[in-house]
Chains A and B, each alone.
Chain A
């Protein structure tokens, strides 16, 4: 296999690891050394041309060739079988709808979450249940980190430089989950978004870290607390719409389904009820209001909401379908909401995970 990347040789393992720090090629953690053998194994497994480019990664525009992505995936701990998921995630992030350029450089703390669906997630041993956003599972950790290292090394948005995130969050290291599909009464996310049942896909969505929601009881009780959690005044959605994510645990979903609620019923209820009065959102200040008006002037804020009337109740997204719902986590008392970046981008994009032809 002909690889084009610069080859470096060093006779000491520790010195090799240190070299990645010295050159700014790592996110702050040590890496797995991308030896030619390891990199070739990933490319061979994907069955793709090593020089095929998925596009230029912003802001600095490094070409995301299969070879460079494989090098970064190895560094993040990926096995060959994990690599097709990394490729699909990068492909999804490079869709202009996601506005990766903005996501990587905004002052907001959103990070692109990778959600994996389909039987491949089980084959790879991905966690979709207890502690799903946490540690302990190689595929979740390595796929997520492989993606982040590719953005780091090819996109080159660094903190204190062009990554202007005010606070950011630990997902900058890795942010990848699988949806729980077995213990789930509803169609999985990727099928809702147009992929065939039984297929493998990733969905990327730029969002804040998971906010815990104490969510247990009847559908009405769960919806009451979820609605309130979605429209917190500190999130962008309540000011400038965009998209948001709700993660229900399997017990939550089971309770909804047992009482006859479809996923879409839940989504529509949340859209109708996760609202704040204009008086509330205006009390946040003039900057928030300017953003809102800018979005309205740009045609992204529906004209039907009278923003000058203090009693108008504004939603968190322009349409119900902009509230994404995923089932994951342990069968317990907690759900999560992950607000998005607002109307500026980071929107969800789904891509098939291509297997070797």
Chain B
């Protein structure tokens, strides 16, 4: 019998329930988190959210597109937004 050790940590078993999704964005506060790489794109998205869906958008800028948002920015998004839209990828 060969005994050996697992190289990984056990998978977390307690999944957190997803937050309740709003049925519409009308009157909803949206935290739009972006790295400002493509400002025209984000500005267009902001307009669509506001004009077409009636959301109030708060733009938040990540200092880097290649690292997670700082905790203070995540807290700000949670405080000022009912939902958040976060841009990723580089």
Contact = CB atoms under 8 A, between A and B. Distances in A.
A279 B68 CA distance: 34
Interface residues of A, number: 41
Interface in B45-80: 63-68
Interface string B1-24: 111111111100000000000000
A178 to B, nearest CB: 26
A153 B11 CA distance: 12
A16 B5 CA distance: 11
A101 B68 CA distance: 8
B8 A8 contact: no
B5 A106 contact: no
B42 interface: no
A3 interface: yes
Contacts of B4: 7-8, 10, 16, 33-36
Nearest to B10: A6
Given A9-B2, A107-B90, A344-B64, A75 B38 contact: no
Most chain-A CB neighbours within 10 Å: which of B35, B36, B66? B66
B75 to A, nearest CB: 19
B7 A35 contact: no
Contacts of A107: 89-90
B37 interface: yes
A240 to B, nearest CB: 11
A25 B7 contact: yes
A164 B89 contact: yes
A160 interface: no
Contacts of A99: 64, 66-67
Contact of A153 (B2, B7, B10, B36): B7
Secondary structure of the B side of the interface?
Answer: loop
A293 to B, nearest CB: 9
A58 B67 CA distance: 10
Most chain-A CB neighbours within 10 Å: which of B1, B3, B5? B5
Contacts of B36: 294, 297
A35 B2 contact: yes
A63 B66 contact: no
B66 A5 contact: no
A68 B7 contact: yes
A8 B5 CA distance: 6
A71 interface: yes
Given A99-B67, A106-B90, A291-B37, A7 B8 contact: no
Given A99-B67, A290-B37, A72 B7 contact: yes
Interface string A54-72: 0000100011000010011
Interface in A130-175: 149, 153-154, 164
Given A62-B8, A68-B9, A102-B67, 13 more contacts: A5-B7, A7-B4, A16-B4, A25-B7, A33-B2, A35-B5, A71-B6, A99-B64, A106-B90, A107-B89, A149-B7, A294-B65, A297-B36
25 contacts: A7-B5, A7-B6, A8-B3, A8-B5, A9-B1, A9-B2, A11-B2, A13-B2, A34-B7, A35-B5, A58-B68, A62-B9, A75-B7, A99-B67, A101-B66, A101-B68, A102-B66, A106-B90, A153-B8, A154-B9, A290-B37, A294-B36, A344-B64, A344-B66, A344-B90
Give 8 closest A-B pairs by Cβ, nearest first: A102-B66, A6-B6, A5-B5, A344-B66, A153-B7, A71-B7, A33-B4, A153-B8
Interface of B: 1-10, 35-38, 63-68, 89-90
